[in-house]
């Protein structure tokens, strides 16, 4: 097992990912903005006082932070990347923009580091189970070297060169976002039309409309469970980033534009810290129905890294 390994960001997703890696035998120095979350991992994980301290002379660094600007700040401005051992693997598993990944990859290469962008999908259940879908961009030989670190966290698919992992995650996110919007509309139509949403979901799960979103997030909507697995504000970050890529390619993606607007309104109404399944609440608000975002006392709560 490669070591020592710096793990930066042990929040909702990073915490269980780090724990699985430690259980696989990795020697880990973890850092998190809220140190108690790093301390809670246990499993023999050492807690560092700063990103640079965690990265000092490490053979690999895994990053699971909230967004691209935060990754850049921690890695470049705060010196974590510069503290790594020469030739270290820098594995950014955060959901960042495509161009952000390409730019950071070039900077990492200029510093003598080996870059992999490896964002994930599957949410907190898959993070805990070690069954995440990991979409990796980078050199094939670097992916081979990183395999002992990545496989304890999930299933790896090498997409292509640096930046293609980040692009694939954005493609994943627009698929998730648009499906959440459709499921939310379906649940709203069922409840307002007099059909039992639980029975509607059960029927749909046996047919061509079945999906993981309908299964998991449809159930969340029915139960009104919007504790964040994937906070809505992060979903908005990703739809915005996907729109930026589409614009740079001269593409018109009208469904993406519509869904981005829905999540923008959900966040603006105070739902940024709720799970992205809370898009149902935004649809209720638009239709003048009770139980919108404003009806939830915790609607403005935020999920921290």
Domains and CATH numbers, the chain: 5-160 (3.40.50.720), 167-293 (1.10.1040.10)
**What value does the mean pLDDT take over residues 223-242?**
92
Band of the pLDDT at 294, cuts 50, 70, 90?
low
Indicate the average pLDDT of the chain.
93
For residues 53 and 46, what is the distance between their CA atoms, to the nearest angstrom? 11
Q: What's the pLDDT score for residue 50? A: 96
Q: What's the pLDDT score for residue 292? A: 64
Q: pTM for the complete prediction?
A: 0.87
For residues 94 and 63, what is the distance between their CA atoms, to the nearest angstrom? 6
Is there a contact between 9 and 64 (Cβ–Cβ < 8 Å)?
A: yes
Among 257, 252, 259, smallest CA distance to 177 is for 259
Q: What's the pLDDT score for residue 229? A: 82
Is there a contact between 277 and 296 (Cβ–Cβ < 8 Å)?
A: no
Burial zone of 33 (CB within 10 Å; 0-12 exposed, 13-18 middle, 19+ buried):
middle
Band of the pLDDT at 290, cuts 50, 70, 90?
confident
For residues 27 and 101, what is the distance between their CA atoms, to the nearest angstrom? 26
Name the 3-class secondary structure at 136: strand
Name the 3-class secondary structure at 92: strand
For residues 282 and 284, what is the distance between their CA atoms, to the nearest angstrom? 5
**What value does the mean pLDDT take over residues 29-37?**
95
Active-site position among 37, 73, 169, 237: 169
Q: What's the pLDDT score for residue 3? A: 80
Tens digit of pLDDT for each residue in 46-96? 999 999 999 999 999 999 998 999 999 999 999 999 999 999 999 999 999
Q: What's the pLDDT score for residue 176? A: 95
Based on the residue annotation, tell me whether 169 is a catalytic residue of this protein. Answer: yes
Q: What's the pLDDT score for residue 297? A: 39
């Amino acid at each position: 097992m490669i070591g020592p390994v710096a793990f930066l960001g042990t929040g909702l997703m990073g915490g269980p990912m780090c724990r699985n890696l430690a259980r696989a035998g990795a020697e880990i120095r973890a850092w998190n903005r809220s140190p108690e979350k790093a301390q809670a991992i246990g499993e023999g994980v050492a807690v560092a006082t700063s990103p640079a301290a965690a990265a000092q002379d490490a053979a690999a660094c895994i990053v699971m932070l909230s967004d691209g600007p935060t990754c850049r700040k921690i890695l470049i401005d705060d010196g974590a990347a510069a503290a790594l051992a020469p030739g270290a693997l820098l594995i950014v598993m955060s959901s960042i923009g495509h161009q952000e990944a390409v730019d950071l990859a070039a900077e990492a290469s200029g510093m003598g580091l080996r870059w992999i962008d490896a964002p994930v999908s599957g949410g907190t259940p898959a993070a805990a189970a070690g069954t995440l879908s990991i979409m990796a961009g980078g050199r094939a030989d670097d992916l081979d070297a990183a395999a002992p670190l990545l496989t304890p966290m999930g299933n790896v698919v090498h997409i292509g060169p640096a930046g293609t992992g980040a692009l694939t995650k954005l493609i994943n996110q627009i698929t998730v976002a648009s499906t959440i919007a459709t499921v939310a509309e379906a649940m709203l139509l069922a409840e307002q039309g007099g059909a039992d949403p639980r029975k509607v979901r059960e029927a749909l799960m046996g047919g061509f409309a079945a999906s993981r979103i309908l299964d998991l997030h449809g159930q969340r909507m029915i139960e009104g469970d919007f504790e964040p697995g994937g906070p809505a504000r992060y979903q908005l970050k990703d739809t915005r980033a996907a729109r930026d890529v589409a614009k740079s390619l001269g593409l018109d993606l009208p469904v993406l534009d519509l869904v981005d607007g829905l999540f923008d309104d959900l966040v603006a109404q105070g739902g940024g810290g709720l799970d992205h399944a809370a898009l149902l609440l935004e649809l209720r608000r638009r239709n003048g129905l009770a139980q919108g975002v404003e009806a939830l006392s915790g609607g403005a709560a935020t999920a921290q890294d």
